[in-house]
Amino acid sequence: MPGSRLTADRGAHIVLPNWEEAIEVFGLPMDIRKTVTIIEDTLIEGQNQLPQPERRVATIAVVRNPLVSGTGESLNELVQDGGDLGRFLAERALEHIDQSRVTSVGKGAIVGADGEPEQAQAILFPKFATAVRDALQLGSVHIPGEKKLAKAGVTLDVLLWQVHGASSETPAGRMEIRVPGSPKDDEILVVLILGGTR
């Protein structure tokens, strides 16, 4: 889909596509206020030119937190939404990195100030992770997640984890995620990061 690009730090660029058609296609039930895709390509590590550029793709959705409205929703609603959101973000990320080249994955959520920490856990586990594994054909690989309760504009430091041939206890790096003005107090910011080669 066409989109505008903004210059970002560390050689990354941010893609802001027209998501309305995509959201209709995926039939997402939650209210999405904003989506952002960050693509970071590293060509030189230390003093060495890399034989293949390393790519990290972060797909982000800022969604309304239904549990802030006080209408009686349970954590199960966020669990269900997490499955749809995991599939949506994984498919969007795969537009910018080939599935066969993915070597690491990370995820995280920031719950706005009016929410509760366990709401991040609900939206990231277990259905979000299952949907991501299915989209990436990762089998039963474990995908840890970073969680935070915070005001808008805070940075989330997301660890990436190897998906093949390494212990799940071995981080493959990290990526800092920040979306200015997000999440609002009644929102949740959810991010999926795929790492690999371009």
Residue 140: pLDDT band (50, 70, 90) is confident
In the chain, the number of structural domains is 1
We report the CATH number of the domain holding residue 92 as 3.30.1330.110
pLDDT at 22: 47
Six token digits for residue 78: 């966020």
pLDDT at 110: 98
Domain that holds residue 104: 3-197
Give dist(CA 157, CA 150) in Å, integer: 13
What's the whole-number mean pLDDT along residues 49-78?
89
User: Model-level pTM?
Assistant: 0.85
Q: What percent of the chain has pLDDT over 90?
A: 71
Residue from 59, 19, 77 nearest 190 by CA: 59
Rounded to the nearest integer, the mean pLDDT of the chain is 85
What's the whole-number mean pLDDT along residues 147-170?
87
- Indicate the DSSP class of residue 177: E
Q: Which residue has the higher pLDDT, 104 or 70?
A: 104
For the ranges 2-6, 128-132, 148-152, the lowest mean pLDDT is seen at 2-6
pLDDT over 60 (residue 161): yes
DSSP notation for 14-69: EEEE--HHHHHHHT--S-EEEEEEEEEEEEEETTEEEEEEEEEEEEEEEEE-TTTT
For the ranges 65-74, 149-158, 188-197, the lowest mean pLDDT is seen at 65-74
Six token digits for residue 161: 């984890």
